Amino acid sequence: MDDDVNGAIRNPPARLVVGISGASGAVYGARVLDALNDLGVESHLVVTKAALLTLSQETDLSPDELTAKASVVHKLGDVGATIASGSFRTLGMIVAPCSIKTMSEIATGVTSTLLTRAADVTLKERRPLVLMVRETPFHLGHLRTMTALAEMGAIIAPPLPALYARPSSIMEMVDQSVGRTLDLFGLDWRAVRRWEGLKS
C-alpha cells in the first residue's frame, strides 16, 4: 500500500513543487530547477511577477530561460492548477527564495496566488514545505511569523553559506544551500560538499 496508517505517503511520485517569489536570490530557484533536472525529479514551477523583476536584476537569465528549466510551468493566477489540490501527489514544495510577503501570506492561510495556495495545500497534506526566507535582519513580527509556520509544520531554511565547504565562488555557495535544502526531501544532489570531520 502507498499510504501509511497516518495518511503519509510512503512512495510519492518523484515530483516537487517549486515556488520562486520576489526576494533577492532568484538564482536559488533557478539552481533548484537545475538540481531537479540532474536528479530526474519532475518540477512544477510557479513564479511571482516580483520574482521575474528580481531575476532580471540579479542574473542574465530571461524569464523563458528560467521556465525552460522546469518540467511543468503554472501561471500564478491559475488556482485551478494541479498543484492547487491535495489529491495531486508530490514530495512537497520549496519556495526559493521566499519573500517576507509570501511567507506571511502562507502563515495566515489567506492565499491570493497559486504559489501561496500550493504552499497551503502542502501544509494541510502534511508534506514538507521548505521556505528559503531571504531577509535580514528580522524584526519580531518576522520571527513570530516564522515560529507560527514552524508550528504548522513548515521548515524555515534561510540560505546561509556553509564556510566549512571552502566555497570558491558565489555559485558554489548557492549550490551548497540548494543541495542541503533538497536533503530535506530525501534528494541527494552531487553538488553538496559533505562534512567529513575536523582535519588534523
Binding residues for dimethylallyl phosphate, by number, are 164, 180
Distance between CA atoms of residues 155 and 179, nearest Å:
15
Which residues are documented as binding site?
A: 22-24, 48, 99-102, 134, 164, 180
Please tell me whether residue 101 adopts helix, strand or coil conformation: helix
Task: Spell out where the chain has E strands.
Answer: 15-20, 42-47, 72-74, 93-98, 129-133, 155-156
| DSSP code string of 2-25 | -B-TTS-BSS--SEEEEEE-SSS-
Q: How far is C-alpha 170 from the geometric centre of its chain's CA atoms? A: 19
State the distance between the two ends of the chain, measured CA to CA, in whole angstroms.
Answer: 49
Which residues are documented as binding site for FMN?
A: 22-24, 48, 99-102, 134
Are residues 120 and 82 in contact, defined by beta-carbon separation less than 8 angstroms?
no
The one-letter amino acid at 145 = T
